[in-house]
Structure 1
């Protein structure tokens, strides 16, 4: 049933090109660039691995693109199909029109467009940062549609106390309006490649060290036509505005609605992005409601899935294997891909 749903015309039109990645273990993982139509343009991403069954939906983080997700996805997709997307204004996805705000609600809308496009009746999430928080919110709004969440670093959206709520919202709105005007003036700062690497490391508080920046920059930098050897960042600068936060009471109410198993991988070198108190309050609610919750601490920072992929892979694989109710997980690496593409 799911196979027939995937092969509707809109599914076939999603793919733009196919590539084969050969790993050091001589296992080939077929992947394709995809474009999912949305009212304002398209959402970009890649489909990795098997297309015989509904894949896992991976959502990249705030001010990020799928490049930082790919080392993890390449390994996990040897066992189960994965679609990784970039929210609007990041990577190769179409930015929002002028005047529109990027926030968690916008990310939820994008997820819904993806599900509608592929005609999926369920969704399995893998998310990092904003993507992980979005998955949690989606599971709270549509608990019957989410079968599990693999969340890296962030568990829930960042809270803002009742006392600071208006101040934070005002600051976000002022910042957004300033960036919106800068875009209208066509302002873009130019960098050499080395300067761009330094910018990424600085802006991520060294979460993406210089030696890992190429993963992000491969889908981020655009060569300047007028200044040889210079580049500008593709990211819509309105993403510099912090994603809208929520009062603690709303986040706790979200936690009451979630029913699916959750894996949360935390980097040991990064503080609780949602606040330590909020994090453990949410965990208590999930445990009270008998929600399977697995918390793993892995050496690393906010981008631990990029800088310490080897330690994250077995944790993610074991979790998916355990909670994959549709038997999509192949114990033999790449078995489904070899069968489907018949290239082995």
Structure 2
């Protein structure tokens, strides 16, 4: 069983929340400084299986499955998956683990959740690591779309509720091929790893675990203005490491990916606001470099975690 062969894997956790539980897995040392790891859109905690064993094992790493993902409970009927809800899950996990301060590491969507949390609860965050991510999703020139996204999100949930279609059962091979087709940046080995936690075996094949109400990132990302972005990052107390893959994504929606301007604006602002507390590193690889080639990022993350530079203790 792969669970047992992973170096330093401590345990599978289930943290109680009002709608059920948040599932998580822990590595490293229970006595170590805590690092909460947040996966990307539609992924799960196995996103960190290959990276965490390469990091210093005197930290306590906990990777959660966001609500509606992996082995975590789905939200109750009628309740949408908004960005703020995921930020709130981080606060709930910290309370359940009795952590008053911890570091955050987030990939893609998990990074925007981690970034938002770090600005709302700055005194709780020691260090912030963003893997192919940014602390928020900034919308520079598409104000018109923002109301459309909100409208579509509401209509989509109503449609899903009305259709009541049972989840598709497919063969493991078909499931993997479908997954890889939709996730061109994920290697076959890593796709199988995500599906291991992201599916349930039934008599005739596999079904996806995730809640089908979670369909488009636009519905769950909070797009904010430049002005709110600048105001928010001024609240950050934690040092920030942002790792960008050279062949990674620039735009959340993917179709505008040639437009690097919003991400470059966010990076420039982090540099000018945080100064020495901001570290930006480019690595060869694609959006899933932390899974496909974890050794490319492990030493950078290890140095950052072990550096003395941390947020001022809250007085």
Place the TM-score, normalised by the shorter chain, in its bin: 0.7 to 0.9
Per the alignment, do residues 100 and 190 of structure 1 end up closer, same or farther by CA in structure 2, a change over 3 Å counting? same
Alignment partner of 1:246 is 2:230: no
Comparing 79-88 with 152-161, greater Cα deviation is found at: 152-161
Of the three residues 187, 209, 212, the one matched with 2:190 is 212
2:262 maps to: 278
| Matching of residues 164-313 of structure 1 within 5 Å | 164-182=145-163, 185-204=164-183, 206-225=184-203, 228=204, 230-242=205-217, 243-248=220-225, 249-273=227-251, 276-291=260-275, 292-313=277-298
Runs of 4 or more above 4 Å deviation: 323-326
Report the secondary structure of 1:71's partner residue.
Answer: coil
Q: Is the 8 A contact 1:165 1:247 kept in 2?
A: no
How does the TM-score come out when normalised to structure 2?
0.88
2:79 maps to: 100
CA shift digits 1:291-341 (9 cap, x unpaired): 411122222221110011111111110111114759xxxxxxxxxxxxxxx
Alignment RMSD: 2.0
Report the secondary structure of 1:239's partner residue.
Answer: coil
2:305 maps to: 320
2:256 maps to: none
Higher Cα radius of gyration? 1
CA distance in 1, matches of 2:88, 2:148: 26
Gap regions ≥5 residues in structure 1: 1-18, 23-27, 327-344
CA shift digits 1:255-297 (9 cap, x unpaired): 2322311111112112313562222222232222234111222
Q: Is the 8 A contact 1:104 1:130 kept in 2?
A: no
Gap regions ≥5 residues in structure 2: 253-258
Q: Is the 8 A contact 2:32 2:58 kept in 1?
A: no
CA shift digits 1:48-95 (9 cap, x unpaired): 010013421111111000112110012215242201111111111011
Q: Is the 8 A contact 1:56 1:82 kept in 2?
A: yes
| Matching of residues 95-174 of structure 1 within 5 Å | 95-160=74-139, 161-174=142-155
1:74 maps to: 53
2:43 maps to: 64
Per the alignment, do residues 199 and 51 of structure 1 end up closer, same or farther by CA in structure 2, a change over 3 Å counting? same
Q: Is the 8 A contact 1:151 1:264 kept in 2?
A: yes
Per-residue deviation, 1:127: 0.9
Per the alignment, do residues 288 and 154 of structure 1 end up closer, same or farther by CA in structure 2, a change over 3 Å counting? same
